[in-house]
Amino acid sequence: MGAVTDFPESSTASLEVSGLAYAYPDGHQALFGVDLTLGRGERVALLGPNGAGKTTLVLHLNGILTGGAGTVTVAGLPVGKRHMAEIRRKVGIVFQDPDDQLFMPTVREDVAFGPAAAGVKGPELEARVHKALAQVGMAEFADRPPHHLSFGQRRRVAVATVLVMEPEILVLDEPSSNLDPASRRELADILRSLDVTVLMVTHDLPYALELCPRSVILSEGVIAADGTTGDLLADEDLMRAHRLELPFGFDPKSVKVTSA
């Protein structure tokens, strides 16, 4: 399936990956030439079986991994040493386990940590922390210890710790994992409301369909398919070929998806 690039030609893409290949020091080749473009404001699901190279690709987006072939550009800036501080502000990654990102005594301090380390202080810092917490519906919990919150609430605070840096791209690693149905819905509502480009790495195919109009399948280090999420999930041969399985009885054609 051809790439989907329905974003305004006049706008700079949030992400452009061209010919990205990478081998680990032990010789394992994880990526074999990935080409991927995300338009500003798109929500895109990155799908694929375990070992497909999804994590390797994501770690190239903010320069954690470098040195392979090809290029990665974020909002017009090439990922490299010269722009690394700005790139890491522009690409925010929310890990699967929120406890990997929450380590301060209070929610407010956790969310303030990143911008404070970048030199933001005073009223500007307070305003950014309040805005980020309000965006995820957690403003009233600002003075609570993170470990007193539910798992779903901690995940929302983890999202706030990234939003407070005002990123260009929000990368979510398995955002629906371990969430109860109400928490899944609450997080979905939050993600729809954000004015930011979203790349969602997930095995939760119904969640991808619900939230992401477009999906990309990464398989054996290459982009195997790129298209409308509903079309990809309805292609039984494609799904089978790349070891992707929908929940029993789930019919993607029966789900009405809106881009808003």
Contact by Cβ (8 Å): 224, 216: no
pLDDT of amino acid 12: 75
Checking if the pLDDT of 6 tops 60, the result is: no
pLDDT of amino acid 7: 40
CA–CA–CA angle 140, 145, 150 (5° rounding): 75
pLDDT of amino acid 82: 87
**Where is mean pLDDT largest: 65-79, 149-163, 238-252?**
149-163
Give me the helices (H) in 144-219, please.
151-163, 181-193, 205-211
Write out pLDDT tens, residues 237-251. Answer: 999 999 999 988 788
In order of their start, the domains of the chain are 15-97+169-244 (3.40.50.300)
Write out pLDDT tens, residues 216-230. Answer: 999 999 999 999 999
Segment 101-105 mean pLDDT: 93
pLDDT of amino acid 162: 95
What is the greatest pairwise CA distance in the chain?
56
| Band (193; pLDDT cuts 50, 70, 90) | very high
3-state secondary structure of 191: helix
Query: In whole numbers, what is the pLDDT of the chain averaged over residues?
Result: 90
Measure CA 234 to chain center.
23
| Band (159; pLDDT cuts 50, 70, 90) | very high
Segment 65-76 mean pLDDT: 89
Of 27, 111, 29, the closest CA to residue 70 belongs to 29
Q: pTM of this prediction?
A: 0.89
Write out pLDDT tens, residues 12-51. Answer: 799 999 999 999 999 899 999 999 999 999 999 999 998 8
pLDDT of amino acid 197: 96
Checking if the pLDDT of 235 tops 80, the result is: yes
Handedness of CA 172, 208, 4, 192 (dihedral sign): negative
